[in-house]
Amino acid sequence: MIVRTLAECAKSGRKIVSKTWDSTRMLLKDDNMGFSFHITTIYANSETHIHYQNHLESVYCISGEGEIETLADGKVYPIKPGTLYILDQHDEHLLRGFSEMQMACVFNPPLNGREVHDADGVYPLDGQSLD
């Protein structure tokens, strides 16, 4: 069994900081679970363009308020504590944080560790690992 805390993970190099978010990757590919698990902070008053063409992701909002817009149809869905959104179609989207949002995220296939979005909002499949 593996036990980790968010504080330990954040201190041990698992926290990746981007322009509009940071994410502590608590469970990664090398744990061999078939998915990765991250605690992500979306910054207040931010907009992030995301398109996970190589991954499926589900995101649960723990705290904060925002919205997600799917670009294919222009639909906008509010996000508040208790909301889970499921990107089952590799949906290209804009994620907006009105206040700071704490999110729990699961990725399949799992991330390696150091991935950040490229110019198209994509993570590569062969991202760099933490070590």
Question: Could you list the residues that contact ligand 9YT (CB under 6 A)?
Answer: 21, 23, 38, 40, 50, 57, 59, 95, 103, 105
d(CA 103, CA 125): 22
**To the nearest whole angstrom, how small is the minimum distance from the Cβ of residue 40 to ligand 9YT?**
4
DSSP 129: B
Q: Taking the CB of residue 88, how many other CB atoms lie within 10 A of it?
A: 9
Q: Which is nearer to ligand 9YT, 103 or 122 (CB)?
A: 103
3-state DSSP percent of the chain in helix, strand and coil, to 5: 5, 45, 50
Burial 61-80 (b: 16+ CB within 10 A, else e): beebbbbbbbeeeeeeeebe
Q: Which is nearer to ligand 9YT, 1 or 43 (CB)?
A: 43
Q: Which is nearer to ligand 9YT, 3 or 16 (CB)?
A: 16
**To the nearest whole angstrom, how small is the minimum distance from the Cβ of residue 29 to ligand 9YT?**
13
Task: Give me the residue label for tokens 């992701």.
Answer: 57
**To the nearest whole angstrom, how small is the minimum distance from the Cβ of residue 103 to ligand 9YT?**
5
Q: Which is nearer to ligand 9YT, 57 or 92 (CB)?
A: 57
